[in-house]
């Protein structure tokens, strides 16, 4: 006898037969997650990340303090400068 059949038999025995078995593969008890909601500001965008020396973050924060720009804008500008240096098309940030 299978393990599930043993479990079912024990449930029926202890509950006086009031247990109705679920069909195999029935997932109605566990709702399927519907993907994470995406903020409107992130629609059509991708995340780019890197693990760098902490001094990069410190320098970036210092530039942010001087310019008042957000980190995302500063990184986009820096990447466009890199693209220009290598004759790669720049990305319109708007």
Segment 20-66, tens digit of pLDDT: 666 666 556 666 567 778 888 888 889 999 999 999 999 999 999 99
Q: How far is CA 82 from CA 43, 62, 69, 78, in A?
A: 25, 20, 19, 6
- Is residue 93 assigned to a domain? yes
- Is residue 59 assigned to a domain? yes
- Is residue 16 assigned to a domain? no
For residue 36, count CB atoms less than 10 angstroms from its CB and return exposed for 0-12, middle for 13-18, buried for 19 or more.
exposed
The whole-number pLDDT of residue 10 equals 80
What is the total count of domains within the chain? Answer: 1
Range of the domain at 73: 49-94
């Amino acid at each position: 006898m299978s393990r599930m059949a043993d479990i079912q038999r024990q449930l029926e025995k202890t509950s006086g037969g009031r247990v109705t078995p679920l069909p195999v593969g029935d997932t109605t008890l566990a709702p399927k997650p519907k993907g994470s909601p995406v903020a409107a500001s992130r629609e059509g965008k991708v995340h780019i990340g890197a693990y760098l020396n902490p001094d990069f973050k410190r320098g970036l924060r210092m530039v942010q303090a001087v310019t008042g720009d957000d980190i995302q804008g500063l990184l986009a500008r820096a990447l466009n400068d890199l693209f220009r240096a290598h004759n790669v098309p720049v990305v319109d940030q708007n």
